[in-house]
Structure 1
Amino acid sequence: MQDQQLIDHFFRHQYGKMVSILIRIFGLKNIEIIEDAVQDTFAKATVQWRKKVPENPEAWFTKAAKNRVIDLLRKLDADKNRVEKLNYSASAIAFNNLFEKEEIQDSELRMIFTACHPKLDTKDQIAFALKTIGGFSTAEIASALLLKPETVKKRLARAKQTIRAKKVNFELPTKKRLQERLHNALEVIYLIFNEGFHSNHNKFLVRKELCGEALRLTKIILSKQEFRCGASYALFALLCFNSSRLGAKVDENFNSIDLKNQDRTKWYLPLIHLGNNALVKAEEFGDFSTYHIEAAIVAEHLKAANFKDTNWKKILELYKQLQQHQDNTMVSLSIAVVLIQLKEQENAYQILLQLEPEALEQRSYLFYGVKAEYYKSLGKIKEAITYLDIAIENVYSKPEKAYLVKKKNALLTM
């Protein structure tokens, strides 16, 4: 399982890099061939690494990417002289330079902002970005965006068609378009992290490779003066805060541990300090974002010495502030959870009455889990078990299912 996680980690870490570099060489018009090539490289690694994982996996991927470039040239009917020039002439220097750290980062930034190009439908941008930058599968995109897989397929196809038809360029945005596209770029990174922090994967509740990739991409954005703003620093703070808790979210068997029962001594202080510094830096800019609020919410949890000492009133205030900017089912559900902690069951119930679990798509089980918690808080164990059964029936993730079954068994012994 550890080897598989390592392979997943390097696939996530390298996918966006390889796609970005190859698109910079061959152009967006060849994106489908490029994606196939990257998938082929990953498939090759999956087979070869079963026997032995290379000492330097990143170097292996880089070499495989370079070799695949030559294969692509042939596939795209490039002439022999062009291939030879890339291998032996001065062009080889420019070609190899594209694999240097700074050039890779430049290619990745171009890919991020190209995916958020205004010529693409706003609904298509995020799905396309998750695919090209994060290497997300259709199912993973559907989970992250709370959509049906069929809808995601249509959006991806439409994005590629638009790129070809409108001849979208692979470049960084002009100053005039920067803020608009930066907002979308940050949202993509946020979604990549969320799928890592609370994954809908069948086997893993936490996928550290995605969390690490989101942190890395945010750092790339912050490395450029023109991309620094309150939102980008606040997002980095939020990711640092949540990453600090990763070591306490699951046990050695990858089973879920809820916030109440986490060993807070396992929370990683250096990341908390880094997040605090980023949040202070975010205040130096004039813009404000939902990331500021979400980071403040997580900061409240981090301040509490234990679950009982959590300042739920402050967290409720922050969630209500978040709801003014981002009124959706997930935020409302979070408010209901906080109200249950504050023993305001009637208010929580009124919120739950207004919510449609279908709006959460693959994560509808979260609604039923909260409703079970509501009935448990009232001492209505039979009703709580009923809703836990519905949650168990609707959950896809094995760790989440095991967690819910454990909660149900605990209620059965009461």
Structure 2
Amino acid sequence: MEHKVVDHLFRHHYGKMVAILTRFFGLSYIETIEDAVQDTFIKATSQWRTKIPDNPEAWLNRVAKNRTIDILRSIQAEKNRNFTITTGASSLQIDELFLDHEVADSQLRMIFVASHPSLHPNEQIAFALKTISGFSTKEIAAALLTKEETIVKRLTRAKKSIRENNIQFKYPPPEAIHERMVRVMEVIYLTFNEGFHSTNTDKLVKEDLCGEAIRLCQLLLKKEQFRTGSLYALFALLCFHMSRLESKISIDNQIVSLKNQDRTKWYFPLVRMGNSAMNKAVEYDDTSVYHYEAAIASEHLNAKTFADTNWGNISNWYEQLYAFQPTIFTLLNQAIVQLQLNDFEKTLQLLKSIEVTDLGQRGYLYYGCYAEYYMKIGEKDLSISFLDKALAETTNSLERDFLINKRSGLIK
């Protein structure tokens, strides 16, 4: 039980604790702070076996603060210097930094540190996922479809850049906000997708990560200088997807396809929040991929049944999305849509234009689409062979079960 509590708190509070302590001690101590926070959660796992504190969050904050101070004193002692704490927030006591509004402010500052132009875009995303959302290097590698050792190098380079460029723990100047916000939104989008399409081997949906992405979006939207049509569209998209979370997994822990989802489980208060955000999004002049993806998600939510889905509209949105920003994943999604429209010629044309290796860890979706194509045109054996290829590419246990069940249905 205590491990579940610690895991939950880690996901919800790791980034907050790192941001607050960084604001107090300074970015030059970021690695020490991360080590101290990590040590704190390890200590919690050990000490909470018999009894969980009445206020676990306060316990974590206190222990992390004291651990950071202890480590820094040790470092300074080794250098034969007196230990002093320097901070740009000297008028605030460290305990006051743990107040809700200060936590939010510290995390927003950390988001903009992560998106600083001195950091390479790949380093920005890796640093943000690690520092703000508490991803492990393995999870970041999975989310970014790359090797774990590559992520370690990116994180090392990011922290080196922060030191060498003397990056400050503060907001960017007004003229730099737009450029930095583009990277910030990409990080939030990736965080949500890691939860919604989890690469974890045992669990498809990580609600904590989805909730964290929405929370970060809300933090930004609370400040007028960060509001844009793109940010509102991103928030709408996340609300639309989040509304379907409960229906994605059955009570016996199996994936439920969109066609078979119980639409009464869709959480429509979130849909209404998304609709409201989209109304705000179109009041601004800027346009982004989030506008198009939110429009596509909205089409699914507007359909009372799977049969009522307006696939023609969805196809048009995907065409506009591809024209706005062409990606291989958009081509794959368009192929899936053409299957629903029974346009098999166009489906095959789209699939042949895709190089499966470019899909990385999502390659199983390509083979799954081919399997569906062959099943629809009556080539059962070919469909089974492509399901086998999809299975060979799948690491998620729930995805594997889903594909195995699909394959079994063809053999019967």
Residues 204 and 254 in structure 1, CA contact (< 8 A), matched pair in contact too? no
Query: Structure 1 residue 9: deviation in Å?
Result: 3.0
What one-letter code is carried by the residue in structure 2 that aligns with 1:140? Answer: E
* Aligned residue in 1 for 2:277: 278
In structure 2, the CA distance between the partners of 1:279 and 1:200, relative to structure 1 (3 Å rule), is: same
CA separation in 2, counterparts of 1:197 and 1:256? 12
- Tell me, what secondary structure is at the counterpart of 1:332? helix
Please tell me the residue identity of whatever aligns with 2:378.
Answer: G
What letter matches 1:100 in structure 2? L
Pair 1:150 & 2:142 matched: no
User: What per-residue deviation string (whole Å, max 9, x for no partner) do you get for residues 168-198 of structure 1?
Assistant: 2211110010000011101101110011011
1:236/1:5 CA distance change after superposition, 3 Å: farther
Letter in 2 for 1:393: A
Conserved in 1, the CA contact under 8 Å of 2:32 and 2:68?
no
Distance in 2 separating the partners of 1:93 and 1:317? 54
| 1:336 has 2:313 as partner | no
Tell me: CA distance 1:32–1:42, structure 2 relative to 1, closer, same or farther (3 Å). Answer: same
Please give the TM-score of this superposition, normalised by the length of structure 1. Answer: 0.93
Deviations for 1:94-141, whole angstroms, at most 9, x for unmatched residues? Answer: 221111111111110110010000111123211211111111122222
1:181 aligns with 2:180: yes
DSSP-derived class of the 1:177 partner: helix
Distance 1:390 1:55 in 2: 51
* Residues 334, 7 of structure 1: alpha-carbon distance in 2 compared, 3 angstrom cutoff: farther
Partner residue in 2 for 1:120? 119
Q: Is the 8 A contact 1:205 1:254 kept in 2?
A: no
Aligned amino acid, residue 232 of structure 1:
L
The change in CA–CA distance for 1:53 and 1:404 in structure 2 (over 3 A counts) is: farther
Q: Which residue of 1 aligns with 2:252?
A: 253
* 1:242 matched to 2:238: no
Aligned-pair CA distance for 1:92 = 9.5
Q: Which residue matches 1:196?
A: 195
Q: Distance in 2 between matches of 1:255 and 1:60?
A: 37
2:58 is paired with a residue whose SS is helix
Q: What are the residue-to-residue correspondences of 1:331-410 with 2, within 5 Å?
A: 331-410=330-409
State the secondary structure of the residue aligned to 1:204. Answer: coil
Q: Is the aligned partner of 1:309 residue 2:339?
A: no
Distance in 1 of aligned mates of 2:160 and 2:83 = 31
1:23 deviation in Å?
1.4
Confirm or deny: 8 A CA contact 2:109 2:170 kept in the other structure: yes
Q: In structure 2, do the counterparts of structure 1 residues 365 and 75 end up closer, same or farther at CA, with 3 Å as the change threshold?
A: farther
Q: When the two structures are aligned, how many residues end up with a matched partner?
A: 408
* Counterpart Cα distance in 2 of 1:388 and 1:3: 40
What pairs with 1:70-219 in structure 2 (closer than 5 Å)? Answer: 70-77=69-76, 94-219=93-218
Root-mean-square deviation over aligned CA pairs: 2.2
Unmatched segments (≥5 aa) in structure 1: none
Superposed CA offset, 1:343-390 (max 9, x none): 011111111112122112222111111111111111111111111111
Query: Does structure 1 conserve the Cα–Cα contact (< 8 Å) formed by 2:338 and 2:347?
Result: yes
Tell whether 2:44 aligns with 1:37: no
Secondary structure of the 2:174 match is: coil
d(CA) in 2 for partners of 1:343, 1:387: 19
Residues 82 and 151 (structure 1 numbering): CA distance in 2 closer, same or farther, change over 3 Å? closer
1:375/1:118 CA distance change after superposition, 3 Å: same
Within 1, Cα distance between the matches of 2:2 and 2:361? 28
Deviation, structure 1 residue 63: 3.0
1:381 maps to a residue whose letter is K
Partner residue of 1:61?
Answer: 60
One-letter code aligned to 2:322: Q
State which drifts further: 368-377 or 106-115: 368-377
Q: Which runs of 5+ in 2 are unaligned?
A: none
Q: Cα deviation per residue 1:221-252 (whole Å; 9 max; x = unaligned)?
A: 01101011111111111111111101101112
Counterpart residue identity of residue 180, structure 2: R
Query: How far is the alpha carbon of 1:325 from its aligned partner?
Result: 2.5
CA–CA separation in structure 1 for the residues paired with 2:305 and 2:339: 18
What TM-score does the superposition give when structure 2 sets the normalisation length? 0.93
Distance 1:262 1:5 in 2: 28
Q: Is the CA contact (8 Å cut-off) linking 1:117 and 1:181 kept in structure 2?
A: yes
Distance in 1 of aligned mates of 2:47 and 2:380:
52
**Amino-acid identity (%):** 51
Q: Which amino acid aligns with 1:261?
A: N
| Paired letter, 1:259 | L
Match of 2:222 in 1: 223
Shift of 1:10: 2.0
